[in-house]
Amino acid sequence: MTAAAQMVKPVSLELGGKSPLVIFDDVADIDKAVEWAMFGCFFNSGQVCSATSRLLLHEKIAERFLDRLVEWAKNIKISDPLEEGCRLGSVISKGQYEKIKKFISTARSEGATILHGGDRPKHLGKGFFIEPTIITDVSTSMQIWREEVFGPVICVKVFKTESEAVELANDTHYGLAGGVISDDLERCERIAKVIHSGIVWINCSQPTLVQAPWGGNKRSGFGRELGEWGLENYLSVKQVTRYCKDELYGWYQRPSKL
């Protein structure tokens, strides 16, 4: 923005996020919700700007959900991405690998619990591989709650009421994406309207359609990519006005003829 401002150039910014995924206690199929929670944060090794890395669970299902989430996470095949069936590859660089490890160690030092993962997979002695990591006992002041990790790390908080869930979901400087999973579609629509983000998923996380606008609010940027909205970023509107009456406009008094 600073560089563009020097020459008054237009700019569209699609930035990062710390997106929430809210899961209510009325979900009939826990495994279906668990898979979406994993895909929302572990896909592409978590290197996704819209990753739903803040998992919000209703207290009535939290324990059962986390048990299944850990079971599913243990079953992920972590390997060279060229191997058949790989579902979690390495992160992009040594610098990013060390950054993610630092996030995890800081979370632990701040009092969070590493429920699963957090280390290099035992069967992979080299490469920038990190186990899918699930962190609980998180407070809203912790770095892991507030900052984007850009790795396969999900932090978890429990809520009691819908209003509390919305408050936690919006407790971020970012506003790229968010999601809600519930069998009550009216509730889903209600939550979708009040999550402060440019993208909201209902009963899923991360499907991206080229026909739909993509972009965020707050520190997640402005402007939109994809669809007709994306094209508008490259266009400017010109106004052409034509005066069609024969008489004078009449704002000024005509000089007298002498």
Q: pLDDT-derived band of residue 43, with 50, 70 and 90 as boundaries? A: very high
Opening angle at CA 66, ends 119 and 48, nearest 5? 55
Average pLDDT value for the chain: 96
Quick one: pLDDT at residue 155?
Answer: 98
The mean pLDDT value for 124-133 works out to: 96
Interatomic CA distance for residues 158 and 134, integer angstroms: 14
Q: Of 74-78, 133-137, 253-257, which range is least confident?
A: 253-257
Q: What superfamily in CATH does domain 16-208 come from?
A: Aldehyde Dehydrogenase; Chain A, domain 2 (3.40.309.10)
Cβ–Cβ under 8 Å, residues 217 and 199: no
Residue 88: DSSP 8-state: B
Q: pLDDT-derived band of residue 104, with 50, 70 and 90 as boundaries? A: very high
Quick one: pLDDT at residue 41?
Answer: 98
Residue 83: DSSP 8-state: S
Q: pLDDT-derived band of residue 257, with 50, 70 and 90 as boundaries? A: confident
State the CB neighbour count (10 A cutoff) for residue 140.
Answer: 12
Q: pLDDT-derived band of residue 258, with 50, 70 and 90 as boundaries? A: low
Q: pLDDT-derived band of residue 48, with 50, 70 and 90 as boundaries? A: very high
Cβ–Cβ under 8 Å, residues 153 and 104: yes
Q: pLDDT-derived band of residue 142, with 50, 70 and 90 as boundaries? A: very high
The mean pLDDT value for 174-183 works out to: 98
Quick one: pLDDT at residue 233?
Answer: 87
Q: First and final CA of the chain: distance in angstroms?
A: 60
Query: 220: helix, coil or strand?
Result: helix
Interatomic CA distance for residues 168 and 191, integer angstroms: 12
pLDDT over 90, % of the chain: 96
Q: pLDDT-derived band of residue 256, with 50, 70 and 90 as boundaries? A: confident
pLDDT over 70, % of the chain: 100
* pTM for this prediction: 0.92
Bridge partners, residue 202, by sequence: 180
The mean pLDDT value for 185-196 works out to: 98
Asked whether residue 95 carries a pLDDT value surpassing 70, the answer given is yes
Asked whether residue 113 carries a pLDDT value surpassing 80, the answer given is yes
Asked whether residue 151 carries a pLDDT value surpassing 90, the answer given is yes
Catalytic residues: 14
Opening angle at CA 121, ends 118 and 124, nearest 5? 145
Cβ–Cβ under 8 Å, residues 165 and 188: no
Q: Which two tokens stand for residue 51?
A: 């990753």
Burial of 148 (0-12, 13-18, 19+ CB in 10 A): buried
Helical H runs in 120-226? 143-146, 162-169, 185-194
